[in-house]
Structure formats: structure tokens, C-alpha cells
Structure 1
Amino acid sequence: MGRFQLMGKAVFQLCELGHVDMSGATLLSCVRDPEAQTPQAQMFFRSGTEADDVAETGDTQIIASKSISNGLILRVAYDGTHPTLSVRGVVSDVVTQAPDFERFEGLNVALAVRNGETAEATLAWLKFHAKHHKLQAAVIVDRARPGQDTAYIQDVEKGLSDIGGLKQLTVLRFDVPLGHDDQPPESHPINAPDAPGKDRMGIPEASPWDSPLAELQIIEMIRFRWLNTARAVVLLDVSDVVSQTKGSDVKGANLFDMAVKSTAGVVTLVGQHSYPWRVRNGEPVRHGDHICVQFDATKMRRRWVVAPAKTNPDVVWRLIRIVGTRPQEGEWLKFYRCMGFRHISDEWAIVPKTSLIEAPELLKMSKRRFNHKPLRMPEIAEPKVDPSDNDVAIITCMKNEGPFILEWLAYHRAIGVKDVLVYTNDCNDGTDTFLDLLQSKGFVQHRENPFKGTNLKPQHAALQAGENEPVIQKADWVISMDVDEFINVKTGNGTLPALFEAVGDANLISCTWRLFGNSDVHEYHDKPLMAQFTRCAREMTRKPHQAWGFKTLYRNIGLFKKLGVHRPKGLNPQLWSHINWVNGSGSPLPKDMYRNAWRSTADTIGYDLVQLNHYAVRSAESFLVKRDRGRVNHVDRDQGMAYWFRMNNNTEEDLSIQRMIPAMQDEMDRLMSDPEIAEAHAFSVDRHRAKIDALKETSNYAKFYEDLTGPRQERLARLHPHFGANVFLAGPEVVPDWVVERDLPEDFFFTVDKQDTAH
């Protein structure tokens, strides 16, 4: 421990705090209460000690007990020089420490935690708050191990002469770790709240010396040893920068004045994560590099600044609030958490770049407060839209879908689709040659799927390739969808122009799935799906979760960088404010769905203007072929009974698409008037029929078909609203026969525990 002062330089002190082992209980500190009329003290234990572990003795009474973050705090009264307590059956004397209030009395103090931040960052943090918020002193809890990182201490002490107005700096080091025993270093990206790809990182080794802070009771401990007579105290981390005071109802020259002048003696600090866009090669990250925030961030950090003299002595200083006070609604101030200091990684990103936008206040702070020139985000020109340009292109993947191509193509041409780009792979029913024929006649564009050798799934490979196709690049609107999905426009005359007129200047439209079952149609017939399959899920069908998946029709104006299965991906965040994304009822979607959402929610579902009729199972016979074919995207998942159970939903009837059957049939008749097209369609139908017959000749598929078409499955297809999510994950076999056989009341609900047999 040392204290020294040079001319105009803050008094610096390093306090190395030792613990006391009391029969396995770790006592961090025992602080005397100078205000008590009889000898009293507060004892602060590290996590792992329970109140039942400690017992009174004849000389010492426990007069209060509480726990903060599993850290036990006892207030004791005692006779004699020191308290005497029995801990786990062993009686020990406890040495008390006298509080050192004089050092910080009447000063504006920051109580901060440093977990690996550099001396340069610490000094910049002190200088900023001393200059712009009249910070006069600081207590920094340094998480470094004892005896290590000595250069940090030396460099901080040397740099204090450059910080005007700072009078005191105390650095505390504990001889026991303060972090979570089972978590990796806080700096690891897995601890970055917004880091992408955490599921691929693996589990790093636990590191309690620098993992996220667990011993939050030290805030109270430091208060009672040093800070109870400070003018005002702000709780921050060294990576936190407090904004200017504009915008708060409490007016003051600095954040400390705000606490003193507030009605409650405490002002809430509301924190937002900030990030660099980039850092110059070879240079350390600086506060001034942090010019970006996430446009869709919803979670905020909470800290506080308190004037101890204005609050009741019985309040408790915790991490996010002062317990026992009531901050006024308008008494708050913003701060930014500079995440580039907290989470450092060359391999993993700590935030998706697609979420970042420049914050004007941070740009201003970088230039004026930190005298820094940060690397800026590249500028992107604002999109220009002619609302009369509404050519639509579909990109899709197919494998052995020959019998269903013409209806799907005719329908979408009838509602206004101009171009169709189809990728195929490994077809043996004539699908690929049929599409080649349609391409030669100008009805589609057909490509071989380039997925082989790429480690990409077929659909992802197709979308990646499709981004370079002129038919996609030149389209005004684009949607990625499958041949069993039909855009059902329910407004106007049922066409896409009517939909575009209804949604105004929207540039993305989510078309939410309506799961159509087999309507108890078991045999394959070469007839329009729209006419055969009329039973489907209810609109308010939360489970299975696939029920509310959507596909997105979007204006191709550069808001996103690439195609996605359910929606465009790779948002250009500079343009996020130009997004006007609506659901199927024309209602705006919230911004937290812009980057990754692929399904609707109870708050965002909408079917009034458009829905996506999803004929995922078709007839039972056709489903045999679908299962044999495999899945275009999830190639490693079996389309067995669990899939049929989830997707075969016959709860109610919906005939809304059938008004378009005449228009579809007219277009299909035009296509079939070409003898070559008619012949190719007939060939695919024959191959499909032959495949069904061949599969039903095998014992496995014969039994599977028998199960699909049995009364149990027919009944289950009408009971979906009664089942919880885990039922759909586990499969139909978990549903008892009595549930299937009874007439169930409307409010009946059945679920099971999560199963290990999910498909």
C-alpha cells in the first residue's frame, strides 16, 4: 500500500486487500461502523458462505443478515476489541478495519471495475470524466491477479499528471478471484451479449480471475470502507463513458450535480453498447473508435449515480440500482459501454456488422472530446424507387417435382409473376428436362444446382448462385419460395399488383405460411392442389413453430446484400431507416425483426392481405415420394411420421385461393396447348404414379402409408390447437389414444416434457 503526490498530481494509492479464511469461509473484509453508539461492524463474505454457516458467540450478536449475488453480509454487534464468531463450528476472532472516509469526503467519485482494459484506456476514461463531469476521485477495482500486470499500475500512476481536477485515485486488488467460477474470461466473445456464432465457439476454459464479476457485494463493502461521505458516487466500468446531461429533467453542470440536485438523491444511468466500425491496423482500440450502436438494440444497461448524504443510511448499493430509493422517471442520464475494450478477438466477431449504425453523439464525442479521427462506415446511396416498377421474380429449388410444376407456374403467372429461376439437382422423374423445355419456350430459366463440392446445402448454394443471375438482379421484387407454396393474395382482384397497391410504399412483405394438410385425400390425382386441399391450420396457430414461418417478397433496391431462404440477408445497416417491412395485413414489423427473423409472432402475424398457402404434404401417396426424395434444405433430416404430423393440419377450411382457380386454369390451358409441354407433364405424372406404386410394394413404405391414412392420423390432423410445442417435437406417438378418441372441449390442452427423440 502506498500513497504519494507530485506537483498538481492526484494522490495515488494501491490497496492490496487480503482475505481471511474462517474454516473455509472467505471473509473479504470486516468494516467497523464509526456511527454506531456501541461497537458494530459489517462482515463481507465471498460467495459460498451461507447464513447458517455462521453462529453467534457470547460476545457477538448477529443483528442483520442479507445476501447480494450469493455474497453474505452480516452486521454484528460485539463486546470488546473485535467480533468473535463461530463459523462452521470453529470460533474465531475477526480483525476489523476502520473506514477511511477522509480520502473521498466531499468529492465526486467514480467507483469502477477494470477487467483487462489498458492503462491508456483507463487514463482516457478518467480524463474524459474529470473534464466533462467534474470527476474528482476514483476507486478502481482491478481484477488482475496479485503481483501481475504491474506495468498497468506504473503506467496509470505516471499518467495522472495529465488529468486536471483529479485529486484521488485508489486502485483495489483482491487476493481472491471475484468472477464466476464456471465462466470464461469476460473478454472472450462468448461473453459478448450480441456476438454472432456463439453456437460454434465451443466452451472456453473457466477463468474466475477475469470472468464476469460475481462478487457484487464488494460494492457495499467499498461504500462502507471509503465512500459513505463522498459528495456523489457513480458506478461504472472503465469501458463506460457517460453522455452529456442534455435530455434529462434534472439540470446540472455534471452528472454528480444531477444526483445532488435530484429529489431522490439518485439518478439512473441507462447504458447502450457502442462499437468501433473498424480499428486501424496495428493500433489499439480507443474510446474515440466507438462510433456505432445497434439500430435494433432493445436491452439497456443500468447503473447509477448517488449522493450519499441525500439517501437513507439503510439503502443498499447494488449493481443496477440503489435499493431503498425511488429515482424519478425523468431523472436519468445515458452512458455508452465501449465494447471494443471489453471483448477482444481476432477470430470471432463481437457484434453483427449488419446491426451497426453510426451514432451522431458518438461521432461528436470522438472528434471533440477524444480528439480522434475514427474509421467511418462506408456511405451507401439512398435507394431510389419508382412505384410503378413492379416486375416480380421467383427463385426456387426443385427435385422430382415434375407433376406439380405446371399448376404452380400457371398460378403465379396468373397473379402477376414475370420471371421464375429454378435450380434442380439429381432429378429422375423428368423434372429437369421438363424445365429445360419450359426454358426453351421462355417460361422459366433453369439451372443445375451447383451445390456439389461446396459444403453448402442445395438451397443455399442455389441462392448464392442466383444472386449473380441477371433475372434476379434486374427484378423489381424478389421472393425465394418452393413449389409447394402459393402466394395467396386476398385483397383486390387477387393479383400482385393489387397487393402492391394495398401496402403502399412498403418494400418488404412477409407472406406467412398457412399450413394446408391433405384434407384426408390419400390417393394422388393429377388435379390442382388448390382445388383438392382446402383444410388448413387456424390463423392463430402458434405451434408447431413452423406454422408461422414466412417467405418475404421484397423490393430489390439494395437494402440487403444477399438472398435468403425466408427473407433477404445481410442488411446494409446504413439503409436500415429506409426499410418499410409489413406483415400479411400491411402492418409494420418491428425493427428487431429486420436482421434475422424468419417467422411471425403473436404480435406480428397477419393474413388479411396475403398469406402463403403451404401444401407441404399434399396427398398421402405423394408424401411417400417426398419422403423418398429427401429435403432440399435440411438434407440430414428425415421426412417421416413426425414431419407429417407437424405439417398435416386439417383443423379448418380455407377456400380463399379458389377464386383464382379460373385464372390459373386459363394460364395452364395455354401452357398445355403446346403438345411438347403437355407430353412432358404427362411423362412426369406417369413417373410419379410409377414411383408411388413401387414404394407401396415395399414393406416399409406400405406400412408407412397404412399409418398415414389410418383413422388415428386423420383425427390427429384436426387436433393441433390442443397440443403444446413438445408434442410436435416428439411426434404423434406421445399422444395417448384417449386424447385421439374423445370429443375434446375447445380449451383442452395436452403436452409432454421435452423429448430426446426430436426429428
Structure 2
Amino acid sequence: MCKTNSRYFIFDVPTEPGIKNVIKTGIAVLKSIIYKAILFTANPNIKEKKYKVSVCAIFKNEAPYIREWLEFNHLVGIEHFYLYNNNSEDDYLKVLQPYIDAGMVTLVQWPHNQKQMASYQDCIKKYSCETNWLGFIDIDEFIVPKSTDNIYDFLKTFERKAGAVNIYWRLFGTSGFLDRDLDGLVSEDLTVCWPKYCDIGKCFYNTAFKFDPDSKKNINLHHKFWANHKGIDIPPVNIFNHICVCNRNIADSFDFPIQINHYFTKSYKEYAKKKEKGDVYFTINPHDEMYFYEHEMKCTSTDYSAYKYIVKLKLKFGRKV
């Protein structure tokens, strides 16, 4: 087994060279052709709903970060947020209440530990009727449209040709911060990242398509969202409109039209606190110091794509500088 890098992605999963890989690639190509044919003839019924694009997220003790996350993602076109509180012990409600009062946030109390995927299922069941697109991201993930200025202008081109769209991660490290002033903006402070994109990301579900909650393909909903058309599960496409199947990721250029900035560690001390606070997915958080350095040592590039929104974000916060 060997680790393989493409021109555009850093692959986390080792790839085995040889005939087996050739066969797997051939199967993936055949499946892609079949799924593309299904999508081509699907002709989903596009209805105008309350929101164009919404996000579902589960959080635990994220009060210092929620406001910036909400404001930034709202600036890029997320109209509504379905937030699932997983036993937070901080002052999250003080932060969220103005957004709840303004109708921008629907808050759901979710006391079930390690039930992140179940919270997504609950959101789809209860709220997919309200929004044309429903994304599944975390509080450390910021959507950054690049070819457009808002996410709906990008997603609307997929309304009739995809049940879900996978947007890839741009992974950011500490930018050299041992500690960081929490009054500073995450999206401004952290600019050092991996030189290539991560070959996984997060999905936005096109609610004009059906969803099968019992499908075994939807075990990990936010990374691999399979929509359903006439009883057939359909994998997501990526931002270049290529089918995401058999762990196969195809990019057409280095110029990705949209990305998710994943501020995975923030500063060194924030990473340590993140591990201590518990996790919404893992019973025992595997993100130890070794895991930290495995990611940090890949941070050899910079990305300022988020900066086109920083002035608007600062004005939202009432900043003078």
C-alpha cells in the first residue's frame, strides 16, 4: 500500500497500485455513467420554498465561535440555520437568542450523545420541506464561494442535475498561533493551510429529490449524502459535476469554484480545549497530539479566499479596524 497524491487532492486513504486498482477504477467509471444517466432523466419537481439554502449543524460548547460562524455563513448566502444543541454547558443561548428572535436560527435541544447522524436525519425529516438546499457542516467550517459571491448562485446550476453536491475541504492549521485572542476572527487570523484540497468535504442536499433514511449508504450523511430517485439511491456530485462514487474524486482544475474552509485546529491551545470538551460523534475523541501534528505538518500554503467577506463581517461585528 502507498499513499497517492493527485494534482489537486491530498489523499488520506492509501491506494493500492496494480490491477486491482485498475478494476476498481473501471467499475467506478461504469457506475458514474449509470448514475449520470439516471440524473439526466430525473427531472425533479423544483418548488419555491421558504429558504433557498439552509444549514444543519450540531454543536457542543461552541459559544465563543458561534456568532462569527453564523454571520460569515449568512454573508455567503445561508438563509437559515437548524442548530442542534448537544448538552452544551456554556452560554450558547445568550449568543443565539438574537438570531432565534430574528428568525434566522431554529434551535433544537438534542441531549443524545454521539448521535450526530441521527440529528441530521431528524432535521431532514422535520425541516427539508422548508428549504431547497440543506447542508450539513460543523461550527469550524466556513463556506467560501469563489466563482460567485453567494452559495445559491453556485448551487442553483445543480438543481436539475444533482441530488446532493459535495464541497471539498480546504484544511487550515494554527498559522503559528500557540494561543489566540478569542475576540479575533477565525476567518481573518488563520490563513495557513494544506497546499491541496482534502479529498472529502461536506454535502448539500437538493430537497427536490427524495431521501431514504434507511439506506445503508447514508451512514455518514455529511460526507457521503445519497439522495433517492424512484427508489434508486444516487451519490452526490462534486463541485465540477463529477459523480462521487467508489472514493473517486475528479477535479478539472486548480481553480475550485467554491470550498469549505475547515479551521480544524485553530491555535494549539484551542485544539487542546477542543479535545477536552467532548465530541458529538466520537465516544473517545481520537484527535490527540500525534493527530494534530499529522495535519499541522501539511500546512505549507496560504489561502485568503475568505478575505473578500472580512470587511462586511467586521461591520456586522461593529469593528473599527
User: Structures share a fold, TM > 0.5?
Assistant: yes
Are 2:217 and 1:565 aligned? no
* Aligned mate of 2:67, from 402, 406, 410: 406
Paired position in structure 1 for 2:294: 646
Are 2:283 and 1:627 aligned? no
Superposed counterparts of 1:457-472, under 5 Å: 457-470=114-127, 472=128
In 2: Cα distance, 1:504 partner to 1:383 partner:
8
Are 2:311 and 1:666 aligned? no
Are 2:238 and 1:583 aligned? yes
Counterpart residue identity of residue 416, structure 1? G
Partners of 1:583 and 1:606 within 8 A in 2: no
Paired position in structure 2 for 1:498: 153
Partners of 1:411 and 1:667 within 8 A in 2: no
In 2: Cα distance, 1:413 partner to 1:560 partner:
26
2:283 is paired with a residue whose SS is coil
Q: 1:475 to 1:535 in 2, by over 3 A?
A: same
Q: 1:406 to 1:522 in 2, by over 3 A?
A: same
In the TM superposition, what is the alpha-carbon distance from 1:433 to its structure 2 partner?
Answer: 4.7
Q: 1:505 to 1:384 in 2, by over 3 A?
A: closer
In the TM superposition, what is the alpha-carbon distance from 1:406 to its structure 2 partner?
Answer: 0.9
Partners of 2:49 and 2:129 within 8 A in 1: no
In 2: Cα distance, 1:605 partner to 1:481 partner:
24
Counterpart residue identity of residue 588, structure 1? H
Partners of 1:631 and 1:639 within 8 A in 2: no
Q: 1:532 to 1:504 in 2, by over 3 A?
A: same
Paired position in structure 1 for 2:256: 608
* Aligned mate of 1:431, from 92, 109, 113: 92
1:427 is paired with a residue whose SS is coil
Identity between Structure 1 and Structure 2 (%): 21
2:270 is paired with a residue whose SS is helix
Counterpart residue identity of residue 62, structure 2? E
User: Over residues 358-384 of structure 1, what are the superposed CA-to-partner deviations in whole Å (9 max), with x where a residue is unaligned?
Assistant: xxxxxxxxxxxxxxxxxxxxxxx9621
Unpaired segments ≥5 residues, structure 1? 1-295, 301-355, 358-380, 541-546, 673-759
Superposed counterparts of 1:323-342, under 5 Å: none
Are 2:180 and 1:524 aligned? yes
Q: 1:605 to 1:622 in 2, by over 3 A?
A: farther
TM, length-normalised to structure 1: 0.33
Partners of 1:385 and 1:557 within 8 A in 2: yes
Paired position in structure 2 for 1:480: 136
Counterpart residue identity of residue 589, structure 1? I
1:467 is paired with a residue whose SS is helix
Are 2:83 and 1:422 aligned? yes
Q: 1:605 to 1:474 in 2, by over 3 A?
A: farther
In the TM superposition, what is the alpha-carbon distance from 1:428 to its structure 2 partner?
Answer: 1.8
Paired position in structure 2 for 1:657: 306
Unpaired segments ≥5 residues, structure 2? 1-25, 36-41
In 2: Cα distance, 1:389 partner to 1:580 partner:
26
In 1: Cα distance, 2:226 partner to 2:86 partner:
24
Paired position in structure 2 for 1:548: 199
In 1: Cα distance, 2:285 partner to 2:300 partner:
26
Superposed counterparts of 1:602-751, under 5 Å: 608-648=256-296, 649-669=298-318
Paired position in structure 2 for 1:50: none
Q: Pairwise CA RMSD of aligned residues?
A: 3.3
In 2: Cα distance, 1:654 partner to 1:298 partner:
32
Larger radius of gyration: 1
Superposed counterparts of 1:124-203, under 5 Å: none
TM, length-normalised to structure 2: 0.74
Superposed counterparts of 1:193-342, under 5 Å: none
In 1: Cα distance, 2:228 partner to 2:27 partner:
15
In 1: Cα distance, 2:227 partner to 2:237 partner:
19
Counterpart residue identity of residue 513, structure 1? W
Paired position in structure 2 for 1:349: none
Higher relative contact order (CA 8 A, sep 6+): 2
Paired position in structure 1 for 2:112: 451
In 1: Cα distance, 2:309 partner to 2:280 partner:
28
Are 2:165 and 1:509 aligned? yes
Q: 1:634 to 1:570 in 2, by over 3 A?
A: farther
Q: 1:570 to 1:413 in 2, by over 3 A?
A: closer
Q: 1:485 to 1:410 in 2, by over 3 A?
A: same
In the TM superposition, what is the alpha-carbon distance from 1:566 to its structure 2 partner?
Answer: 1.9
User: Over residues 213-271 of structure 1, what are the superposed CA-to-partner deviations in whole Å (9 max), with x where a residue is unaligned?
Assistant: xxxxxxxxxxxxxxxxxxxxxxxxxxxxxxxxxxxxxxxxxxxxxxxxxxxxxxxxxxx
Partners of 1:580 and 1:588 within 8 A in 2: no
